[in-house]
Amino acid sequence: MKQIRDFKKITVTPKQEKSVRNGHPWIYEDEITGADSGIENGSIVDVFGQKGNWLGSGFWSQTSKIRVRLLSDNANETFGEAFFRRKVQYAVQYRRDVMQDDFEVCRLIHGEADGLPGLTVDRYHNILVSEVASCGTQKHIDVIYDALREMIPGIEGIYERNESPLRLKEGLPQYKGWYGDTHPDTCIFEIEENGIRYEIDVENGQKTGFFLDQKYNRLAAAKIARGRRVLDCCTHIGSFALNAAKAGASYVCAMDISESALENARRNARHNGLQIDTVQGDVFEVLPQMIEDHARFDMIILDPPAFTKSRKTFANARNGYRRINRDAMRLLKRGGYLATCSCSHFMPKEEFIRMICDAAKDAGVSVRIIEQRGAAPDHPVLPAVPETEYLKFVLLQII
C-alpha cells in the first residue's frame, strides 16, 4: 500500500469508501478495518480503500464514533498554516458575497460546510463567538483566530462557548470564556438584525447568544403578519414576535417556557418602541389551554428547540411536533397562517411535511403550503451531507 505522505494511515470498508466518494466527509469507527498504531488524537491521517486507493486526509478522533473528519482529497496538501488560512479566507469572502449588508451580524464559519470540521464562528459586529467540537480543529485554532482578525479588522474580542458535550467525545475539556488577553469588559452587546435591535448575552444566551439561521425566515413570516393577531411560540428573546410587530401586526403575543427569555423579549420590545404581550409556559401545555379558553389567532409561529438529537428518539420527537402543530392549527382562524419550524437534522424535510399533513388531519383542517425555506445563506448546505440541511421552515395556510 503506497503511503502518500508522512501521515499515519487507516483503511476503511467498501461501504465507507462509497460514502467518501459520494462526498460525505465523516468516517465512522465501525467502518475502519485497519489503522496504524500510535495515532495521536487530533492528528491528520491518510485514508485508504480496501484496494490501497487513497481517498483523502482528515483529522483523527480517538474517542468519537466519527473517527475521521476529512479535510481534503488533494494528495499534495501538507496542511500547514496556509491551508487553514485559506479555508478562513474562503469562508469570510463567501459571507461578504452572500450576506452583503448583513455581513456584520452573521455566521462566519459553519463547520464542515466551510471545510473546518466542528467549528462554528458567529459575528456580532466587532465580537466573534466560537465553538469548537473537533480535536483536530482545536489544535489549529490559534491560526484560525489570527486569520479571522486579519481578514475582519476591528474585532474587539473572541468569546469561546466550548460547552458542548461533543467536546467530551473528542477528548476535549468543556469551558467558556474570552480568548486571549484583549477583550471587552462585558459579555452583553447590542446587535441589529432586520432593522431591529436586540440585547444579547454571548456568555449565557442560547447557542452563541442569538439564532442567526432564521434571519430571513423572520422576514418571510413578518410579511404575512401585517394587520393580524400573531402568537409566537418558543420566542426566545422575541425575534419572530418583534419582526411581526415591526411589520404592523395588530396584536403580538410571545410565549416561552423561560421567564428570563421573556424578560429579554420585553426589554427588546421597549428598546425598539414595539408592543408585545408575553405568556410564560410550556408550549405543550399553553396551546391546549388557549384552545380551552377559545383564544383565536390569525397567525402562529412555532419555532421549538430540537425535539430530537438522535435517531433513537425520532418517534417521540415526531409525535411532539405533530401535537403542537395540531394544536396551533386548532387555534387558527380559517384562512389563518402557520409558520412552523424544526431545527433537528434527524427530522428530514420530507418527514416534516408528512408530519404537517398528519397534524392537519388530526386538527380536522386542510392546509396549503406557501413556501418552504431553510437556514440563511451564511449557513450553507452541502448536498452530500444531510446533516448540514438541518433547519426546516414551512409557511402554510389553513383552508
Domains and CATH numbers, the chain: 8-72 (2.30.130.10), 81-191 (3.30.750.80), 211-398 (3.40.50.150)
Q: Residue 310 — pLDDT band, cuts 50, 70, 90?
A: low
Q: Residue 311 — pLDDT band, cuts 50, 70, 90?
A: confident
Helix (H) or strand (E) holding 22: none
Measured in whole angstroms, the distance separating CA 335 from the mean position of its chain's CA atoms is: 31
What rounded mean pLDDT belongs to the chain? Answer: 95
CA distances from 23 to 13, 20, 57, 69, 128 (A): 16, 5, 13, 12, 30
Position of cell 419550524? 341
What percentage of the chain has pLDDT greater than the value 90? Answer: 92
pLDDT of residue 309: 66
Grid cell listed for 308: 430530537
pLDDT of residue 219: 97
pLDDT of residue 296: 94
CA distances from 305 to 79, 252, 273 (A): 37, 21, 28
Q: Residue 1 — pLDDT band, cuts 50, 70, 90?
A: very low
Q: Give the pLDDT confidence of 26-59 residue by residue, as tens digits.
A: 999 999 999 999 999 999 999 999 999 999 999 9
Question: Any idea how long the chain is?
Answer: 399
Q: Does residue 194 contact residue 219 with C-beta atoms inside 8 Å?
A: yes
Identity of the residue numbered 333: K
Query: Half-sphere exposure (CA, 13 Å, Cβ side) for 283?
Result: 26
| Res. 326: pLDDT tops 60 | yes
Q: Show the CA angle centred on residue 233, arms to residues 334 and 214, nearest 5°.
A: 100
Q: Give the pLDDT confidence of 48-99 residue by residue, as tens digits.
A: 999 999 999 999 999 999 999 999 999 889 999 999 999 999 999 999 999 9
User: What is this structure's pTM?
Assistant: 0.93
Instruction: Count Cβ atoms below 10 Å from residue 309 Cβ, excluding itself.
Output: 13
Residues whose CB falls within 8 Å of the CB of residue 210, separated by 6 or more in sequence, listed in order = 122, 124, 191, 193, 198, 200, 237, 239
| Res. 4: pLDDT tops 60 | no
The beta-strand segments (E) located in the chain are 8-12, 26-28, 32-35, 44-48, 54-60, 66-72, 105-110, 119-124, 127-132, 157-162, 175-178, 188-193, 196-201, 229-233, 251-256, 277-280, 297-302, 332-342, 367-373, 392-398
What average pLDDT score do residues 213-225 get?
97
Q: Give the pLDDT confidence of 230-250 residue by residue, as tens digits.
A: 999 999 999 999 999 999 999
Q: Give the pLDDT confidence of 267-297 residue by residue, as tens digits.
A: 999 999 999 999 999 999 999 999 999 999 9
Q: Cβ-count burial of 92 within 10 angstroms (0-12 exposed, 13-18 middle, 19+ buried)?
A: buried
